[in-house]
Amino acid sequence: MILTALDIATSTGVCIGEVGKRPLLETWNLRDGGLSRPQRLRCLMEALFKHMSTFGAHTVVYEAPVPLSFMMKMGASEDTIAMLRGAIGVVEAVCSPNVEALPAPKARHSVLGWYVNKSGKNTKRMVVAGVRALGFDPQDDNQADAYVLWAYKSALLNPRLAVNYTPLFRGDNG
């Protein structure tokens, strides 16, 4: 079974692979579509259509957004929120019915061993470092987040493989 995980952002992190096998990491740079939100959403749509035509219909997961009130409290602009909400709509429309939002804290806990960074600092760097310790080389935090979502959903889809994605049982020394 093929699984794709997306960390939706202007630089969308993508992790794709067959459950139980080593996945690939890549980035879809939505800036390549242009400067406006509609151009970037179209770029995402085209990348998804190309992706689905290459790999066929399969399960797609993405990082569930934090609540709108939290986004506003953190200073997210109206345009940023509109872009994220629009991108989620594009992903759901193109990938339906095999699409699901996953909470990042649960995925991090399952794969990296922690829910949230209690210090509130350097979370992105900690995720990248954690994924690198697992033997992957994400170019940025978007790819690292996509891998964490992919590994978490892989374990949910095939519980017999869950120990492969669980820190305690991986057998690595990192």
The model's pTM is 0.90
pLDDT per position as a tens digit, 161-174: 877 766 555 444 33
Report the sign of the C-alpha dihedral through residues 105, 6, 60, 77, in that order: positive
Rounded-to-integer distance, Cα 24 and Cα 6, Å = 12
CA distance 64 to 101: 5
Class of domain 2-165: alpha beta
* Stretch among 21-30, 116-125, 127-136 having the lowest mean pLDDT: 116-125
Distance CA 121, CA 110 (A): 20
Interval 90-114: pLDDT, tens = 999 999 999 999 999 899 888 887 7
Find the angle CA(111)-CA(106)-CA(150) to the nearest 5 degrees: 50
Q: What percent of the chain has pLDDT over 70?
A: 90
